[in-house]
Amino acid sequence: MSLRKSKSSRAEKILSVKEQQQKIDEVRRLIAPLSDELLYFCSDASISRFLRARNWNPEKAAKMLKVTLKWRLEYKPESIHWGDVADEAKTGKIYRADYKDKYGRTVLIMRPGFQNTNSAKGQIKYLVYCMENAILNLASDQEQMVWLIDFQGWTMASVSLKVTHETAHILQDYYPERLAYGILYNPPKIFESFWKVVKPFLERKTYKKVRFVYSDIPESQNIMSELFDMNELEQALGGRSQYTFNYTHFAHRMIEDDEKMEAFLSSGGSILLQNHPRAADQRQSESFLSDARSETSSEVSLSSYVSSPKSGSDGEFKENGGLGKLGWKSNGEDEAELRIDAIQIKEFV
């Protein structure tokens, strides 16, 4: 990935259901013809995510989707198995929580301070494996996940700019609109400098989903209680659960999920098991447009919460002020987030 600043639209279009479908049909025309192998990855729900990532511009969305399809054919992310990445997982640097957030979204817990390998290739492969696994385990009415990044043990020595940029590239370009929120828990003071370097290379829609939470600022903990059942959340993350990462237990879960994935792939995506999350995708994909959320969605809006590191120079906490019940004032940069029509059907891509 080239180290270029990200360019993204600052205003998102809001289209009617009919207009959305017209855009989707246009993208499908632009990417035709497709092999049978790729048809599943180009459902209406998948195309919609690429369109939302490109502000409903069919030409840009089609270009983005073509690049992703080429990557999937070459990289084959759905074919990565636990045995391929097991060594990367030993310290619990990334793992899928055994609970979801209050809205049924998969939670990926990341501890970059627990890095245990030096291979950027291996680290990225494990990240992709975890992304695919997170999508596999989404609730049937969800298509997004939450990243909960714990900075325990993190130092600048933990940083690999190459891996960081590649992570942003994969998330934004190959898994658009999959991230609901990225929660940064207790980032140290030195992280501020790193954030200033990384932020320009993130699309605006991505960095506006980032929320900073500090255990020594009680108000910021409201983010955690809004998103998670505190009885399920680990104590290390401000919750009440005494759970700690157990490699053996996690490995068992991943091996079971590998079997689910194999069954799904061998069926050509036609499995119709009642409890299989991908099957729910398959059954509902044709009617997803009617499930688009309105601005009056009951889901919590965290747009008023902290979206920058705490810093006396860059901003100040503002309680009950113009940014809502808890906001971060940072040189006028924090605007109200515009609505994103969330199509609640999850699939790969």
- State residue 342's pLDDT score: 33
Domain extents in the chain: 17-75, 79-250+315-329
How far is residue 50's CA from residue 65's CA, in Å, rounded to a whole number?
7
Of 157, 91, 155, nearest to 123 (Cα)?
A: 91
Of 310, 329, 309, 311, nearest to 319 (Cα)?
A: 329
CA torsion angle for 239, 303, 130, 150 (degrees, to 10)? Answer: -40
Block mean pLDDT (10 aa), the chain, length 349 = 45 86 97 86 94 97 97 95 98 97 96 95 97 92 96 89 91 96 95 88 91 92 95 96 97 97 76 40 44 40 63 40 31 35 39
Whether the upstream peptide bond of residue 58 has omega within 30° of 0, thus cis, is: no
Phi, psi of 81 (to 5 degrees): -110, 165
* Sequence-distant (≥ 6) Cβ neighbours of residue 263 within 8 angstroms: 271
- State residue 329's pLDDT score: 32
Which two tokens mark 50?
């690429």
- State residue 226's pLDDT score: 95
Q: DSSP characters for 247-268?
A: HHHHHHHHHHHHHHHHHHHHTT
Amino acid at 5: K
- State residue 287's pLDDT score: 40
The answer to whether the 17-75 and 79-250+315-329 domains have the same CATH topology is no
Determine contact, residues 75/41, Cβ cutoff 8 Å.
no
pTM, rounded to two decimals: 0.80
Burial of 248 (0-12, 13-18, 19+ CB in 10 A): exposed
Residue with tokens 């890095």: 115
Helices (H), 148-273: 161-169, 191-198, 204-207, 222-227, 247-266
* Sequence-distant (≥ 6) Cβ neighbours of residue 74 within 8 angstroms: none
Q: DSSP characters for 33-75?
A: S--HHHHGGGSHHHHHHHHHHTTT-HHHHHHHHHHHHHHHHHH
How far is residue 98's CA from residue 246's CA, in Å, rounded to a whole number?
11
- State residue 308's pLDDT score: 72
How far is residue 150's CA from residue 57's CA, in Å, rounded to a whole number?
36
Of 78, 100, 197, 80, nearest to 148 (Cα)?
A: 100
* Sequence-distant (≥ 6) Cβ neighbours of residue 283 within 8 angstroms: 272
How far is residue 65's CA from residue 47's CA, in Å, rounded to a whole number?
8
Q: What is the CATH number of domain 79-250+315-329?
A: 3.40.525.10
Determine contact, residues 143/342, Cβ cutoff 8 Å.
yes
Residue with tokens 């059942």: 229
Fold of 17-75: Helicase, Ruva Protein; domain 3 (1.10.8)
DSSP state of 223: H
Neighbours of 340 (CB within 10 A): 17
Which two tokens mark 80?
């990565």
